[in-house]
Amino acid sequence: MPEIPAAGVVVFREHGGRAEVALVHRPKYDDWSFPKGKVDPGESLPVTAIREALEETGLRVALGRPLRPQRYPVEAGTKVVHYWVARTAAGTSDVVDDYPANDEIDRVEWLSVKKARKRLSYLHDRETLQQAEDVRHPSTPLIVLRHAVAVRRSAWEGEDAARPLDDSGRTQAVTLAGLLTAYDVRRVITSSSTRCVQSVAPYAGLAEIVPEQTSLLSEEGADRESASALAAKVLGDLTVPTVICTHRPVLPWLFEGLGVRDPKLAKGGLAVLHVAASEIRAVEELEA
């Protein structure tokens, strides 16, 4: 039987000194669950998760730590729902009272964790809530990105640092903008080489962020000591969701400075490190 991918979020807020979670009511099934939905063609799972949250609650959310996927049979096959802990994105509202009721979702409510556990209609959702409660405390994403696909070296006559993305890479850069939006990235650090700058440009423009360009992340200017030290410093000073974009030869040095295994990222690939108190609590690997 085919697998049907879907994604959703367990959204928390702190209200009146206690944790609350957002649940939605579906009139078609008369059930209470988390905001979630099927993946649109060409859409990545994290982007599906934040899109469904917006459509089903009106909340703009930022993803935190990933949770174990749910798997259960449906008429068309096996549904696999990927979940993340989430919070409202920086500077956005957590009000759901004005959400317009519709045929899919007619009620959205913030409930204490205890009340949410009783309100949820399905055992697998109660299990997901328990897992989310265990890791709900805020973490900050630190994303390490390998630049998107560039024009081949053999087809480029200029300096290698000026070698741009090709058509495929430019498409990847647009996809990357959606992924970085899902984690509400607020700081962009990049190699000064054109292919790296172009990889983060769509997101930086969308988020109105000026990328911090440095030759210390370029193939020409990086070395093991400086790249590892840069990564360790960013990790130690991390206060906002941050992306670091660099090149394949530099990546092992970055991961060494971060104290994690090198995942051997493909072009346009990224590792999302979820950090709390300067410690990496979870790692995701994604591709544009």
54 and 162 housed in the same domain? no
72 and 56 housed in the same domain? yes
275 and 158 housed in the same domain? yes
281 and 145 housed in the same domain? yes
**Enclosing domain of residue 93:** 3-134
Go through 71-99 and write b for each residue having 16 or more CB atoms within 10 A of its CB, e for each that does not.
Answer: eeeeeeeebbbbbbbbbbbeeeebebeeb
pLDDT at 195: 98
160 and 146 housed in the same domain? yes
Query: Other C-beta atoms within 10 Å of 168: how many?
Result: 13
The residue out of 134, 165, 197 marking a domain boundary is: 134
116 and 187 housed in the same domain? no
pLDDT at 174: 97
Spatial contact of 108 and 99, defined as CB atoms under 8 Å apart: yes
61 and 105 housed in the same domain? yes
57 and 21 housed in the same domain? yes
215 and 270 housed in the same domain? yes
Q: How far apart are CA 182 and CA 36, in angstroms?
A: 14
pTM (predicted TM-score): 0.96
Residue 163: closest CA among 171, 154, 172: 154
Q: Name the packing angle between helices 167-182 and 45-57 (round to 10°).
A: 50
151 and 232 housed in the same domain? yes
> Would you give per-residue pLDDT tens digits along the chain (288 residues)?
789 999 999 999 999 889 999 999 999 999 999 999 999 999 999 999 999 999 999 999 999 999 999 999 988 899 999 999 999 999 999 999 999 999 999 999 999 999 999 999 999 999 999 999 999 989 999 999 999 999 999 999 999 999 999 999 999 999 999 999 999 999 999 999 999 999 999 999 999 999 999 999 999 999 999 999 999 999 999 999 999 999 999 999 999 999 999 999 999 999 999 999 999 999 999 999
Residue 39 is inside which H or E element, if any?
none
The residue out of 87, 117, 134 marking a domain boundary is: 134
Q: How far apart are CA 40 and CA 36, in angstroms?
A: 12
pLDDT at 76: 85
126 and 146 housed in the same domain? no
275 and 247 housed in the same domain? yes
Strands (E), the chain: 3-15, 18-26, 31-33, 36-38, 61-66, 70-74, 77-88, 107-112, 140-146, 187-191, 212-214, 242-246, 269-276, 279-287
Spatial contact of 253 and 224, defined as CB atoms under 8 Å apart: yes
The tokens 């970055």 sit on which residue?
A: 254
pLDDT at 75: 86
Spatial contact of 21 and 140, defined as CB atoms under 8 Å apart: no
The residue out of 134, 154, 189 marking a domain boundary is: 134
Number of domains within the chain: 2
Residue 102 main-chain phi, psi, to 5 deg: -145, -175
Give the CATH number, domain containing residue 173: 3.40.50.1240
pLDDT at 111: 98
Give the CATH number, domain containing residue 16: 3.90.79.10
